[in-house]
Amino acid sequence: MILFALGIWSFLSHEALLRKLIAFNVMGGGVFHVFIAVAYRGDTAPPDPVPHALVLTGIVVAVSATALALALGGRAQDAADHD
């Protein structure tokens, strides 16, 4: 939760793309940790595999989104340089 809120904060308060992206990933990390925490069911029971799978899916989605955002950012920089 703290990661989540920290992520939102720096997402909103930083201008630079790289910082925003790191903030987004921190935020996502916060959400994924909540899922992991939900999966824990005490020391004796095996953890719930469903949230683990959701986190894996979420990470891949976040990686893809970050890649596209970086490419767009690079392109915006190029376009600004040429203008």
Tell me whether residue 37 or residue 43 sits nearer to another protein (CB atom). Answer: 37
11 lies in the site for another protein, by CB under 8 A = yes
CB of 43 to another protein, least distance (A): 13
Contact 27, 53 (CB under 8 A): no
Q: Residue 36: which residues within 8 A CB-CB, separation 6 or more?
A: 51, 52, 55
- Residues 17-56 binding another protein (CB under 8 A) are 17, 20-21, 24, 27-28, 30-31, 34-35, 37-39, 41-42, 45-54, 56
Q: Which residues here bind another protein, judged by CB under 8 A?
A: 1-2, 4-9, 11-13, 15, 17, 20-21, 24, 27-28, 30-31, 34-35, 37-39, 41-42, 45-54, 56-58, 60-61, 64-65, 67-69, 71-76, 79-80, 83
